[in-house]
Amino acid sequence: PAISRTYNRVLLKLSGEVFGGGSIGLDPDVVKGIAAQMAQANRAGVQIAVVIGGGNFFRGAELQQRGMDRVRADYMGMLGIVMNCLALQDFLEKEGIETRVQTAITMGQVAESYIPRRAIRHMEKGRLVIFGAGMGMPFFSTDTVAVQRALESRCDAVLIAKNGVEGVMTADPKKDPSATLIDEVTYQEAMERELRVIDQTAFALGAENKLPMVVFGMEGEGNITRALQGERIGTLVVP
């Protein structure tokens, strides 16, 4: 049963891979669809912040394997993220949603700088805030950024949108076809059972600060809207 627990404010993490629609670069149709779903939840009154990844452009670790300096490659990764942010902002504004992009690397012509208290003000006024350029620091993942931003901007939960899975599974469905979706799990239990939820740094930060986390599959019809509005889909990870 889809029990709704209405959020006041939530942070949504979208992987960059999704924005690429399966290849490198941006698929505007995909971004448009995601924006439409987010707009619906925003109109319903949910305060929304977003963190996007950049895997559709560059991943620092991958470029490193191909001979690049990790730090420089990570900065390239963060710059890629900003392009995703601008695309999402564009389609959100076409939906009539007021949006602000705040980047962790200053680029005044393109976006506001990351100013946490101002981000909260934007959301209180109904504006949707997109946090870009990751943490602004090499060696971090956007999952970790999502948890950090959710905590700093006082979100009720962090919602991790995944593609290809419905949430946290009992095993890797690619290796074990009998794997099933876990409805609810505590951080402690997830750790003991060695479940793959999100990367370790992000997981530890969420656990230590008791942040409710929802891991859900974004492919289902309207799933992003449903997750943003607090419908119980995917897996709920509780403190």
When binding is defined by CB under 6 A, the residue of 40, 54, 119, 213 that contacts ligand UDP is: 54
Q: Interaction with ligand UDP in 3-32: which residues (CB under 6 A)?
A: 15-17
Residue with tokens 């950024």: 145
Q: Is 175 left (phi over 0), alpha (psi -120 to 50) or beta?
A: alpha
Regarding 166 and contact with ligand UDP (CB under 6 A), the answer is no
Distance CA(233)–CA(27), nearest Å, equals 26
Distance CA(221)–CA(108), nearest Å, equals 37
Tell me whether residue 181 is annotated as binding: no
Q: Provide the strand spans (E) within 71-188.
A: 99-103, 112-113, 128-132, 157-162, 184-186
Using CB under 6 A, which of the segments 2-10, 50-58, 158-166, 175-183 binds ligand UDP? 50-58
Q: Smallest gap, in angstroms, from Cβ of residue 47 to ligand UDP?
A: 22
When binding is defined by CB under 6 A, the residue of 134, 212, 230, 234 that contacts ligand UDP is: 134
| Closer CB to ligand UDP, 74 or 166, in the complex | 74
Using CB under 6 A, which of the segments 90-98, 132-140, 186-194, 206-214 binds ligand UDP? 132-140
Angstrom CA distances, 45 to 31, 119, 128, 232, stand at 21, 16, 11, 18
Q: Interaction with ligand UDP in 80-99: which residues (CB under 6 A)?
A: 81
Regarding 234 and contact with ligand UDP (CB under 6 A), the answer is no
x-marked contacts with ligand UDP along 55-74 as a string, rule CB under 6 A: x---xxx------------x
Instruction: Give SS3 for 221.
Output: coil
